[in-house]
Chains A and B, each alone.
Chain A
C-alpha cells in the first residue's frame, strides 16, 4: 500500500470518518444516557445521535440574509475536515499511517481549527447571541489552552520528541500522572461541558455559536463535535494511558480508559452548575497555571 493510500484510508475509514463517526455517536449516546440516568430520567434511545444527524441532513438549508453564503457553508466543512485529519494522524491501534515527524505540532494546530470555526461561525452569522457565544468561546480557549497545551508539550519535552508514536511508547512514570491531571482540567471546557458550558449556555444566549445554522450545515457541526469527543478521548488514551505490545489489548485498554473518562466528565457535568466566564478564566489561569507549572517542574526534575 503506497503512502497516499494509507493516508486516504486513515482519513476515510479508520480512525477517520467511517470508524470514528459511529464511535462518536456511541460516546454521545453514552454521555446523554448517563446524564439522564443521573437525573432520574430514562434517557435517549441508542440510535438517537444517528437519528438527529439523519434528520438534520434531510432538512432545508437556510442562510441568513446579509451573510456570505460561501463562508457560512464552508465553516462546518472545514471544522469536520480538520477534526478528521487530526484523527487520521492519531496512532490509535489499527491506524495505517506511519510515524510522521512533528505530528504532535500538527495535531495541536488541527485541534484549534474547530474552535476557530466555531468563533467565526458565531461572528459570521450576524446574530447577537452567536456573537456573544463566539466571544465567550474565544476567551475561554485562551484560558483552557494553558493547561491543555502545557500537558501535551511537557510530555513531548519529557520524551524528547514531537512524534505521537514516541509519546505513546514513552515509559510510564509519575510525569504522566501530573500531565494527565493538567489535561483533564482542560477537557470539560474543550468539550463545552458543565461547569464550562459557557459558550453554549442555552439558558442565557439561546444556543451556541451555531444559532443561525440549521439542516445539513448544523449536522456537519454536530458530527464535528462528535468526532472531537473521539479525538480528545483518543488523545488522552494515546498520550497518558500505558500502551501494550499487543494492538488488540491496547484497544481494550484504551476503550476502558475512554469509558472511565467519559463517565467522569459526564458525572462532573451533571452535578455542577455553569460558571461565569470570569470565574472560568480565573480558574484556568490560577489553578490551571499551577498545574502547568507543576507539570513543567515534574518534567524538568524527573
Chain B
C-alpha cells in the first residue's frame, strides 16, 4: 500500500458519511439515529455526517422489516452508492423480521439475501451508542478494504 492509498484509507475511516433507508421500519430505529447528531452523542466528532442522498454516502443504514415493496428500493439505493461502500443493518428486523415475521406482507428472509451486510446492530431498537459503534465498525472495515462489497461480493 503506497502513501496515497494509505491516506485515502484513513480518510475512509475518519469520514464515514451515512445515508439511511427505512425498509419498512416502525420508525423506532430511525428515531434512535437522530440523537447521534445531537450534543449528547455528536457523531460529527468522529467525522460522521448524515446525508440525504446515497450518491454522497459511504455507509447505508438499513432499518426495518423487509416488506415486499422495499426489496427493489434497497437494491436501487445500494446501486447508487459509489464504491467502496458498507451496509449496516439496524435492529432485529432486517435479520429476522422480528415481531412482523410470518406476516404475508413481509419478505420472509434476512437482509443478507438482498445486499451484503457488513455490520449487524442488534436491538429493538438499538441504543444510539450501539448505532454509532456499528457505523465506526463499518468505517474501519472500509479502511481495511474488508467490507463484503470490497471483497467482491455483489448484489444477489
The chain A residues found within 8 Å of chain B, CB to CB, are: 32, 36, 39-45, 47-48, 50-62, 202, 206-207, 211-215, 218
Nearest to A54 among chain B residues (CB) is B11
Question: Which residues of chain B come closer than 8 Å to A60, judged between CB atoms?
Answer: 82-84
B 33-61 binary contact with A (CB < 8 Å = 1; else 0): 00000110010110100011101101000
Assess the B45–A44 pair: CB atoms within 8 A.
yes
The chain B residues found within 8 Å of chain A, CB to CB, are: 5, 7-12, 14-15, 38-39, 42, 44-45, 47, 51-53, 55-56, 58, 80-84
Least Cβ–Cβ distance between A269 and chain B, in angstroms: 15
Least Cβ–Cβ distance between A21 and chain B, in angstroms: 14
Least Cβ–Cβ distance between B153 and chain A, in angstroms: 16
Assess the A43–B11 pair: CB atoms within 8 A.
no
Assess the A207–B47 pair: CB atoms within 8 A.
no
Assess the A212–B55 pair: CB atoms within 8 A.
yes
Bound-state CA distance A213–B55 (Å) is 6
For this complex, 5 residue pairs linking A to B, each with C-beta atoms less than 8 Å apart, are: A44-B44, A44-B45, A55-B11, A59-B82, A206-B53
Bound-state CA distance A187–B43 (Å) is 29
Question: Which residues of chain A come closer than 8 Å to B58, judged between CB atoms?
Answer: 55, 59
Question: Which residues of chain B come closer than 8 Å to A206, judged between CB atoms?
Answer: 52-53
Question: Which residues of chain A come closer than 8 Å to B55, judged between CB atoms?
Answer: 62, 211-214, 218
Assess the A62–B14 pair: CB atoms within 8 A.
no
Least Cβ–Cβ distance between A69 and chain B, in angstroms: 15
Bound-state CA distance A279–B47 (Å) is 34
Assess the A48–B14 pair: CB atoms within 8 A.
yes
B45 interface neighbour in A43, A50, A218, Cβ under 8 Å: A43
Question: Which residues of chain B come closer than 8 Å to A52, judged between CB atoms?
Answer: 11, 15, 47
B7 interface neighbour in A39, A43, A54, A211, Cβ under 8 Å: A54
Question: Which residues of chain B come closer than 8 Å to A54, judged between CB atoms?
Answer: 7-8, 10-11, 15
Question: Which residues of chain A come closer than 8 Å to B9, judged between CB atoms?
Answer: 58
B10 interface neighbour in A32, A51, A57, A213, Cβ under 8 Å: A51
Least Cβ–Cβ distance between B46 and chain A, in angstroms: 8
Assess the B52–A202 pair: CB atoms within 8 A.
yes
Assess the A207–B52 pair: CB atoms within 8 A.
yes
Q: A58-B12, A206-B53 given as contacts; is B47 within 8 A of A51 (CB)?
A: yes
Bound-state CA distance A40–B39 (Å) is 6
Bound-state CA distance A210–B104 (Å) is 40
Bound-state CA distance A62–B38 (Å) is 31
Q: Which 9 residue pairs of A and B lie closest in terms of their CB atoms, listed nearest first?
A: A58-B8, A54-B11, A55-B11, A214-B55, A206-B52, A51-B14, A40-B39, A41-B42, A51-B15
Bound-state CA distance A54–B11 (Å) is 6
Nearest to B38 among chain A residues (CB) is A41
Assess the B12–A55 pair: CB atoms within 8 A.
yes
Question: Which residues of chain A come closer than 8 Å to B39, judged between CB atoms?
Answer: 39-41
B51 interface neighbour in A42, A51, A57, A207, Cβ under 8 Å: A207
Q: A54-B10, A55-B11, A58-B8 given as contacts; is B52 within 8 A of A215 (CB)?
A: no
Least Cβ–Cβ distance between B113 and chain A, in angstroms: 25
Question: Which residues of chain B come closer than 8 Å to A40, judged between CB atoms?
Answer: 39
Assess the A42–B42 pair: CB atoms within 8 A.
yes
Least Cβ–Cβ distance between B70 and chain A, in angstroms: 19
Least Cβ–Cβ distance between A181 and chain B, in angstroms: 33
Assess the A41–B53 pair: CB atoms within 8 A.
no
Assess the A61–B82 pair: CB atoms within 8 A.
yes
Bound-state CA distance A39–B40 (Å) is 11
**Given A41-B38, A50-B11, 13 extra CB contacts under 8 A:** A40-B39, A44-B44, A44-B47, A45-B14, A55-B15, A57-B11, A58-B11, A58-B12, A59-B82, A62-B80, A211-B53, A213-B55, A214-B81
Question: Which residues of chain B come closer than 8 Å to A47, judged between CB atoms?
Answer: 14
Question: Which residues of chain B come closer than 8 Å to A218, judged between CB atoms?
Answer: 55-56
Question: Which residues of chain B come closer than 8 Å to A207, judged between CB atoms?
Answer: 51-53, 56
Question: Which residues of chain B come closer than 8 Å to A59, judged between CB atoms?
Answer: 58, 82-84
